[in-house]
Each structure stands twice: as structure tokens, then as C-alpha cells.
Amino acid sequence: MATFLYKLGRLAFRRRHFVALIWVALLTLAGVGAASAPPAGTTSFSIPGTEAQKAFDLLEERFPGAAADGATARVVFKAPDGEKMTDPDNKAAVEKTVADLADGSEVASVADPYTGNAVSKDGTIAYASVKYDVSGMELEDSTKDALEGAAQQARDAGLTVEIGGDALQAVPHTGTTEIIGIAVAAVVLVITFGSLVAAGLPLLTALIGVGIGVSSITALASALELGSTTSILAMMIGLAVGIDYALFIVSRYRAELAEGREREEAAGRAVGTAGSAVVFAGLTVVIALVGLAVVNIPMLTKMGVAAAGTVAIAVVIALTLVPALLGYAGRRVKPAGAKGKLLGRGRKSADRAAEKTGGARPKANLGTRWARFVVRRPLAVLLLGVIGLGAAAVPAASLELGLPDDGSQPTSTTQRRAYDLLSEGFGPGFNGPLMVVVDAKGSDAPQQVFTDVSDEIKGLDDVVAVTPPQPNKSGDTATITVVPDSKPSSVQTEDLVHAIRDAGADIEADTGAETLVTGSTAMNIDVSQKLNDALLPYLVLVVGLAFLLLIVVFRSILVPLKAALGFLLSVMAALGAVVAVFQWGWLSGLMGVEETGPVMSMMPIFMVGVVFGLAMDYEVFLVTRMREAYVHGEQPDQAVITGFKHGARVVTAAAVIMMAVFAGFIGSSESMIKMIGFGLAIAVFFDAFVVRMAIVPAVLALLGKKAWWLPKWLDRALPNVDVEGEGLRDLGDDDKDEDRALVRT
């Protein structure tokens, strides 16, 4: 592989006009596709194999035209102090609002509070339920304006009015902190390279890759039903890996220049060595993201595949566009140690000055000094790192999973204020009613079955109200609404869902009628359970495949094993930090978390996938340099030091850049994006600076030559991918014939 990538790098360097033209054309094509694509429609959130989804599908079949997936709104009214909603003036204002709402072209129905028993017992709060024909993302702006306008008229009449439900849901935005993250990345690159040109290359190529990826997602959003969070996550991961992959190529290019090679040769060798690491690091990320398909949640699968596509684009750009742009940059990208005017003369100038004056050469860099310290005291460093991560992981034992509802919205939103008013007037469970669907098609007495189910539910704990069964036109299926006594995300509500399902199983055994529980609350419970059940198979699949891949890369058993165990430490510590901030409320004000609660159900498995891929990035980039030194004859301890001498500075810069990019998404208005941004940023910190920079060299120092042991039979069976670039040692600058042959093919 190293030889092929070496030739590809030289070819891209020499044919830079052609390569640049191809990428500009792809970016233009993706941009035109995104601009001309129809707006994304509804994003179907289906959970195959769950009872809640089965009940939802049954509703669509037995209640045609009911728009089961249509948007809903609850317009909540509160009377002024000392007044009641039944007072004539207040009642008139509400009835006028209901009449105005009913005139909407997309409105399916509006329930009057006074005829639908939707006034609180104390008479101070009432609500009107609005049902629409289309989903919240498909509602016309005029319909949303009409909803807000009707509410404003009631406010003008003296009432407090808030709107809950999904009718006013907005496309999430990431905020200005995303720009700050990119700015931090730029500063780190300038400090690392000491040159604006060299620093600008990774940023430029990453932005081109993200532009192509996100534009392609936008162009396909309508056809593939991709949600708004899909492009944000693709942007988040694509920016981080795009900058990092280009950073490693440029850094190796400068190192090759420092060894006296011509620029074209240096570009070829940079792509042949660091590019090999980029390929395998990118493969681990892609495996982790595509592996999300095992969860069998279509939305999560689409998010993973879209992000994986962006990562793949970042890899190809690093192997082709980066060397092409290095060709354009020419002498403006200087050899390693030869800083530009921006940050002074640099290390080589200082070395020459010291030699002229007879002074000592500058001391070793920080990475070398740290590696020597770890090699001298490996056991102490290992224990300190493991104990520290273990302590950070303690809060993960209290992990509670759930999906966000209006109760997790900021208090500044009308959805959250409507949620609080409904809790005040009707109880916390009113915000998460359960819908029980009774399928009595095979029963001789359907009406009796409906009554029996209703009576059975009334006798359960934590039930406040049960509505009379509402049968369909054929009379074989009915819906029953159950209002719990506890809030939607509570353990008590989850227990009630299981209790209803258990009671339904007994009724089915006696009558043959099937009882199913659905609704947003039941759907959230089923999603959490499905994700929990899928976590172990996902770990086995992703870690297993990556373990095999790393055996091929490092030609070792213990190094990949150590990499996987280190990843588990970092991801558990990151989950602990997420629980501490978003569930316990530690530093919640600093992170902009207005409401603590259960951790997003998708967070653990998504974090496992993404963090594993990124963790393997640092493992591959850092340890391949050690492996390269060991293969070229150095002793194990010295190989560790050499790896840090050449790689620690760049890996540190890459980690800081990733942290900055991920942390930039903490400013998102979408709670899921905010949580993932924080989780990934802290996970990168733990993995890069504790696991890869401390635990990894400590373990390698303790293992010595055993770290690189591989059974002979396995060594013969494995393909030789030559990540270390051993095959490049005999290649010179005169491989023109081979390059021309590659051009012709």
C-alpha cells in the first residue's frame, strides 16, 4: 500500500492542476445539487420490531385518514390572577382563538376546551388541542404564523398563552461557537506549523471535503428522508477528521523536506507513510459509523452512513488534494523546524547559531522528554492514568436514558412554558399520555374487550385518568388514552408501560385480542431498550472488526488489544462526564444546559461508535511511528521515544483541533447536538492525553519486545500492507516511468 500511495502522492503533486480541477468540479456539482434539490420533507422516525411502532402502524391501517403522523399543538391558556377560564370574557377569548385555528387549511381538527373537558379542576388553566394533516417539518410558514397569531390575540385579551407540541419545531442551529471552534483550530495550526500557508492547507481541504459531504446530504435529504441533525453531525465529524488527516500529511511532508528530499519526492513519501495511517484510521471511523446499522433504527443508520461518507471524502482529499496544494504552495511550506517569519527563525536557525557560538544544542522537545519520563516510570504512569479515568467514569453507573421532550427545552421557549403550565394544571403525567391500541378483530365481543382493557388499566398504580375506548368505524379496533401520575421521563411511567403490556398479555391469552401501547412516551421507552440491547452486539462487531484491522496494521496481538481496552476506559470516562453535566447538573450553567434530565438514549451507542473511530486515529498515527522506528532497528523503549519525538506534537495539535471543533457544537440549539458535542470533546481529551499519551507508552514500555509479538503462522497468513513505508526505502526520485504508467491506467 505504501508504494501505491507514494506514487499517488507524487502524481497528485505533479498533476496538481488536474487534481484541483476535479475537486472544484465535485464541490460545484454538490453545491448545485443542494441548491436545486427540493426541501427536505418529513423525517420518518420508525423503530422496527418495537411494540410502539407496531401499534403506530396498526393505527394507520385501522384509522385511515387520521393523520397519525400529523403535527400537533396544544395551545395552553392561563387566566389572570383571581380569575378563572370559565369567566365570560376569558371564555369568549378562548372560543375566538379556537374558531380562528379551525380556519387553517392544514388543520385536521381543533378540540374546544369547554366541550372536551380540558379545563383544570381549579379553573385557572385550559388547553385546546390542534391536529394537523401534515408533520411539523412539512407545515407551511403561514400555518405556523396563524397559530402564533391566534395565540397572540388571546394574549392581547389578557390571558397567558403558550404553545406546546411539535407544530412549532424549528430546524436546529449550531450557533457562533462553531465558528469559534474553527478559529481555535486555525490558531493551533499556525502555532504547529509557524506558517499561515501551511496552517491554511488543512483548513481549506477540510472545508472543501465538508462542503462536498454536506451539500450531497442536502441534495439527497428529500429523497432519502434525512433529518436536519444528519448534516450537522456529518459536518462535526467531517471537519474534525478532515483537518486532522491533512495535518498529518502536511507534517510528514515537512519532516521529509527537513531530511533533504525534493518537494515532489517528499510529497510522495508523506502520502506513502502518513497516508497509509490516514487510510487505516479512516477505515476504523467508517467501520464504527456504518456499524450503527446493527441497531436497526433507520434514522441512526442514515446518520452513521452520511457521516461515514464525509469521512471517506476526507481520506481521499488528504491523499490527493493535499499533495496537489503542497505543489501550489511550493517553498512557502518550509521544512520541519524551519519556521517562517511569523513565529521567528525556528529550531534549525537556533541550532546553527548555537553551533557557531560553541553552545549546546537545544534540549529535546516536550514529546521526547515526556516519553523518556514515561519509559522510566511506566507502572506509576499506568496506574495514575487508569485510576484517574476510573474515577471520571464513576457517574456513568447512574446513567439514565431517555429521549428529549418539551420538558427538556430551555425555559425561554414557549414549548417549555406550555409544558410547565400543563403540569401545573393537570399533573406532570399529562405531558406524556399513553395511547393504548386494542386490536379485537379476532374477538367475538370487541366492545366487551375494550371495556375489560379499560377497567384493567384503571386498576393499575400511577394512573390518573383513562378515557373511554374510541373504536374505529368497523368497530374492531379502539384507542384508549391513559394519563400517568408521573412525568414522561420518570421510572414510574416506564413501569406503568410495562404493567399495561403485561395486563394486555393476560387479556390476549383469554380473548385473543391484542393490546399495544404507543405514543411518544412509549416510543421513547422502546427506543432506549432497543439501544441498550444493541450496545453489546455493536461493541463486539465494531471492536472485533477494528481489532482485526489493527492486527494487520501493527502485525501484533497485544498492541490492538491494548488499543481496544484503552478505548473502553476513555469512553466510560466520557460517559461519566456526560452524566455529571447533563444529568447531575455539574457545570451545567457553563455548558448552557438549562434543564438536567436523562441522557439521550442514542448518546452511549453513538459515542461508542464515533469515539472508537477517533481513538483509533490517534493509536494509528502515534504507534505506527513507533512501529516504523522498531522495524528499522531501534530497541522497544527507544522506539517509543522516537515515536513521541516525531508524533507527539502533531497528535497533540490534532487532539486540540478535534476538541475545539466538537466543543463548537455545544452552542447548538438542539439538545442532542449539544450533548454529542460535549461528549465527543471530552472523550477526545481523555483518549488523546490520558490513554494515547500516557497509558499507551507506559504499556509498551512494560511489554518491551513482547508488544510486537505475532505468531509465525499468523504473520505468514496476514497481508503485508507496509504502513511503515519499508518498501519506500529503495525508491528514489527517478520513478518517472512508473508514474507515467499510473497516469495511463
Q: For residues 156 and 406, is the Cβ–Cβ distance under 8 A? A: no
Residue spans of alpha helices (H) in 37-123: 51-62, 88-102
Mean local confidence (pLDDT), 440-467: 85
Please tell me which residue, 191 or 12, carries the higher pLDDT value: 12
pLDDT of 376 over the 60 cut: yes
E-assigned strand segments in 595-662: 599-600
Predicted confidence at residue 694, as pLDDT, reads 92
Predicted confidence at residue 355, as pLDDT, reads 46
Predicted confidence at residue 338, as pLDDT, reads 63
Grid cell 406524556 — which residue?
432
Q: For residues 221 and 37, is the Cβ–Cβ distance under 8 A? A: yes
pLDDT of 174 over the 80 cut: no
Average per-residue pLDDT in the chain?
82
Predicted confidence at residue 258, as pLDDT, reads 87
Predicted confidence at residue 353, as pLDDT, reads 43
Please tell me which residue, 324 or 728, carries the higher pLDDT value: 324
Please tell me which residue, 68 or 549, carries the higher pLDDT value: 549
Helix (H, G, I), strand (E, B) or coil at 471: strand
Range in 5-19, 84-98, 342-356 the model is least confident about: 342-356
pLDDT of 241 over the 50 cut: yes
Predicted confidence at residue 93, as pLDDT, reads 92
652-683 pLDDT, tens digit each = 888 888 888 788 778 776 677 788 889 888 99
Predicted confidence at residue 170, as pLDDT, reads 61
Please tell me which residue, 322 or 346, carries the higher pLDDT value: 322
482-516 pLDDT, tens digit each = 989 888 878 888 889 999 998 888 888 877 888 89
pLDDT of 729 over the 50 cut: yes
Range in 10-19, 116-125, 592-601 the model is least confident about: 592-601
The dihedral built from the CA positions of residue 222, 223, 227 and 232, taken in this order, carries a sign that is negative
Please tell me which residue, 742 or 715, carries the higher pLDDT value: 715
Confidence of residue 398 (pLDDT cuts 50, 70, 90): confident
332-364 pLDDT, tens digit each = 888 876 655 544 444 444 444 444 444 445 567
Predicted confidence at residue 155, as pLDDT, reads 92
State the DSSP string of 121-155: TTSSEEEEEEEESS-GGG--HHHHHHHHHHHHHHH
Predicted confidence at residue 65, as pLDDT, reads 63
pLDDT of 312 over the 90 cut: yes
99-110 pLDDT, tens digit each = 888 887 788 888
266-295 pLDDT, tens digit each = 999 889 888 888 888 888 888 888 888 888
Instruction: Using alpha carbons, list the distances in angstroms from residue 405 to 131, 507, 571, 595.
Output: 18, 32, 26, 11
Predicted confidence at residue 228, as pLDDT, reads 64
pLDDT above 90 covers what percent of the chain?
18
For residue 647, what is the enclosing H or E element?
A: helix 636-663
Instruction: Using alpha carbons, list the distances in angstroms from residue 428 to 122, 378, 418, 423, 483.
Output: 16, 54, 12, 4, 9
As a whole number of angstroms, the distance between CA 553 and CA 555 comes to: 6
Q: For residues 650 and 248, is the Cβ–Cβ distance under 8 A? A: yes
As a whole number of angstroms, the distance between CA 745 and CA 743 comes to: 5
As a whole number of angstroms, the distance between CA 734 and CA 7 comes to: 12
Predicted confidence at residue 293, as pLDDT, reads 85
Confidence of residue 733 (pLDDT cuts 50, 70, 90): very low
Highest mean pLDDT pick, 166-170, 209-213, 280-284, 413-417: 209-213
Give the strand pairing for 125-132 and 72-78: antiparallel
**689-710: b or e for each residue (b if 16 or more CB lie within 10 Å)?**
bbbbbbbbbbbbbebeeebbeb
State the DSSP string of 212-247: HHHHHHHHHHHHHT--HHHHHHHHHHHHHHHHHHHH
Mean local confidence (pLDDT), 310-327: 93
Mean local confidence (pLDDT), 465-490: 86
Predicted confidence at residue 290, as pLDDT, reads 87
Neighbours of 171 (CB within 10 A): 13
Q: For residues 558 and 709, is the Cβ–Cβ distance under 8 A? A: yes
Give the strand pairing for 470-471 and 477-484: antiparallel
Instruction: Using alpha carbons, list the distances in angstroms from residue 687 to 535, 615, 681, 693.
Output: 20, 6, 10, 8
As a whole number of angstroms, the distance between CA 70 and CA 66 comes to: 8
Highest mean pLDDT pick, 161-175, 416-430, 578-592: 416-430
pLDDT of 153 over the 60 cut: yes
Predicted confidence at residue 734, as pLDDT, reads 47
pLDDT of 440 over the 60 cut: yes
21-44 pLDDT, tens digit each = 999 999 999 999 888 877 655 455
Predicted confidence at residue 475, as pLDDT, reads 85
Confidence of residue 586 (pLDDT cuts 50, 70, 90): confident
Which cell numbers in the block locate residue 254? 515537512
